[in-house]
């Protein structure tokens, strides 16, 4: 059975397996991976729209780019291996058309199973950190809007846009874990789009909160925490030490961050 060789030995991915099945008269069970792709796309999309909570058309357009990234990622991970066909065909590299070859960095550079495992651990670590930032930032923003105040607590003590940093960290983790041609091409576009969105939002916040936000903007980095606060930042992501409160003039006291 082709399914047995897929599960135990790394059989060809779905479309390639179908070609083999047509040649041998055997029906491939790998087509069952397409429903898994749909499930993962729906799940990831729900997390995105639930916790990024886009409101205006600008936020929806940025979420649409992330949505495209999600679809491109899982369509290749569990469906049609476009990137493997391109790498093995146009670039003339000997890349086996098996699921494990999707760990492309390890495959291309010959790092084997160990390299693929490192890719997976590093990639999923970033994904989990990014999702934690997305959810934690959403909680802080929700509480701040309900109370009619500026969001400066929690992760917002360390960076001004923790949700956007979280989205970008999660996408970067997927690029490390399972890079594809469409997602590699989309990633810099997503970064550019969210940087522009953050700048526009900051102008709106400055108009609403005036000097309070200006002082906050000058004191707290936009996306990456200053080196001296990164340990506390990671602890805040893990939910250790309660909810830190921002105190003006304390974040950039020793160094500057982006």
Banded pLDDT at 74 (limits 50, 70, 90): very high
Please, what's the b/e burial string for 195-219 (b: 16 or more CB within 10 A of its CB; e: otherwise)? eebbeebbeebeeeeeeebeebeeb
Tokens 């990024």 correspond to: 52
Are the C-beta atoms of residues 241 and 213 closer than 8 Å to each other?
no
Q: Which of 18-32, 86-100, 195-209 has the lowest mean pLDDT?
A: 18-32
Banded pLDDT at 209 (limits 50, 70, 90): very high
Q: What is the mean pLDDT of residues 206-233?
A: 91
Q: What fold, for 36-237? A: 1.20.120
Which is more confident, 126 or 58? 126
Three-class secondary structure of residue 98 per DSSP: strand
Question: What gap in Å lies between CA 221 and CA 201, rounded to an integer?
Answer: 15
Are the C-beta atoms of residues 159 and 220 closer than 8 Å to each other?
yes
Are the C-beta atoms of residues 175 and 130 closer than 8 Å to each other?
no
Count CB neighbours of 115 within 10 A.
16
The pLDDT, as a whole number, for residue 241 is: 42
Mean pLDDT score of the chain: 81
Start-to-end CA distance of the chain, whole Å, equals 54
Banded pLDDT at 49 (limits 50, 70, 90): very high
Task: Copy the structure tokens of residue 225.
Answer: 């925490």
Looking only at Cα atoms, what is the longest distance across the chain? 73
Domain ranges of the chain: 36-237
Question: What gap in Å lies between CA 132 and CA 125, rounded to an integer?
Answer: 11
The predicted-structure confidence for 107-162, as pLDDT tens digits, reads as follows 777 788 888 899 999 999 999 999 999 999 999 999 998 998 999 999 999 999 99
Are the C-beta atoms of residues 133 and 237 closer than 8 Å to each other?
yes
């Amino acid at each position: 059975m082709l399914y047995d060789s897929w599960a135990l030995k790394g059989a060809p991915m779905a479309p390639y397996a179908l070609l083999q099945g047509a040649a041998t008269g055997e029906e491939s069970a790998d087509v069952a991976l397409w429903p898994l792709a749909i499930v993962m796309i729906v799940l990831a999309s729900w997390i995105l729209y639930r916790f990024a909570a886009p409101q205006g058309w600008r936020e929806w357009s940025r979420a649409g780019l992330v949505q495209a990234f999600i679809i491109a990622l899982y369509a290749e991970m569990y469906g049609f291996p476009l990137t493997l066909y391109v790498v093995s065909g146009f670039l003339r590299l000997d890349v086996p058309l098996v699921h494990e070859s999707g760990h492309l960095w390890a495959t291309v550079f010959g790092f084997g199973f160990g390299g693929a495992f490192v890719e997976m651990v590093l990639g999923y670590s970033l994904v989990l950190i990014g999702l934690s930032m997305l959810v934690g930032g959403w909680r802080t923003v929700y509480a701040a809007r309900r109370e009619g105040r500026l969001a400066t607590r929690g992760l917002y003590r360390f960076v001004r846009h923790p949700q956007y940093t979280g989205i970008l960290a999660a996408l970067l983790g997927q690029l490390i874990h399972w890079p594809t041609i469409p997602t590699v091409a989309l990633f810099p576009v997503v970064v550019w789009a969210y940087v522009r969105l953050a700048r526009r939002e900051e102008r709106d916040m400055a108009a609403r909160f005036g000097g309070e936000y200006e002082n906050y903007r000058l004191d707290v980095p936009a996306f990456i925490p200053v080196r001296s606060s990164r340990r506390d930042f990671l602890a805040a992501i893990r939910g250790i030490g309660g909810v830190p409160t921002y105190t003006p003039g304390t974040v950039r006291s020793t160094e500057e961050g982006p």
